[in-house]
Copies of this chain bind each other. A is one copy, B any other.
């Protein structure tokens, strides 16, 4: 399996007082899995406006993946949220892990205002729902670290043959217990969903 082409799958550490992050938990579930002839390489990122993009770009250099799928937590959403847009804009309502809270600035000065994802998001969402995994298309990945990482990813991949995407994940049920009224999805369902989404993106 060492010779298989790779998919780089990133997730984030817990933040904002949470003890878990679904995007970290799914890494353990999918790490080393073989999907559509590709091997899943996991990468855990800190919730940090500088360290996270740096670690992602370094991992791309190292692993030379054919596809990069980043994931992050979007507390309150009900299904997998496939992000269409990476925006060149940061406006943080809470500080990141390093204590920075930039307001209304560019992710990267001089870069385009946005990148649109080239993955077949509508087909991915349809496949997810066909397999019983709630999913929706989203036009904004927010203005926090998730979006900044996504923007840096699509900026780095622009003009290369490598494709990238971002999927936001709901709370795990354990997290939702501490947020009355918040929706959640089990780890098994979330991991199954990411496998399906990757399968479609990789050519199925």
Residues of A participating in the B interface, judged by any CB pair closer than 8 Å: 78-79, 84-85, 87-89, 91, 103-104, 112-116, 122, 128-130, 132-137, 139-140, 142-143, 172-174, 176-178, 180-186, 188-189
Q: In the A-B complex, list the 8 residue pairs whose CB atoms are closest, starting with the nearest.
A: A183-B183, A114-B114, A132-B174, A129-B177, A139-B140, A113-B114, A140-B140, A186-B186
Is the CB–CB distance between A84 and B79 below 8 Å? no
What separation, in Å, do the CA atoms of A116 and B89 have in the docked complex?
9
What separation, in Å, do the CA atoms of A12 and B182 have in the docked complex?
25
A141 CB, min distance to chain B CBs, angstroms: 8
Task: Note all chain B residues with C-beta closer than 8 A to A129.
Answer: 177-178
Task: Note all chain B residues with C-beta closer than 8 A to A134.
Answer: 173, 176-177, 182, 184
Is the CB–CB distance between A176 and B89 below 8 Å? no
Is the CB–CB distance between B79 and A176 below 8 Å? yes
Is the CB–CB distance between B184 and A78 below 8 Å? yes
Pick the contact of A185 from B79, B87, B128, B173 — CB < 8 Å? Answer: B173
Task: Note all chain B residues with C-beta closer than 8 A to A189.
Answer: 173, 186
- Sample of 4 more A-B contacts, CB < 8 Å, known A78-B176, A129-B178, A134-B173: A85-B89, A130-B177, A136-B181, A173-B189
Is the CB–CB distance between A87 and B85 below 8 Å? yes
Given the interface pairs A113-B116, A132-B174, the reply to whether A183 lies near B139 with Cβ below 8 Å is no
> What are 19 A-B pairs with beta-carbon distances under 8 A?
A78-B184, A85-B113, A85-B114, A85-B140, A87-B114, A91-B137, A103-B122, A112-B113, A113-B115, A129-B178, A132-B173, A132-B174, A132-B177, A134-B177, A139-B143, A173-B185, A183-B183, A184-B185, A186-B189
A86 CB, min distance to chain B CBs, angstroms: 9
What separation, in Å, do the CA atoms of A181 and B137 have in the docked complex?
11
Considering residues A103, A128, A134, A180, which has the most beta carbons from chain B within 10 angstroms of its beta carbon? Answer: A134
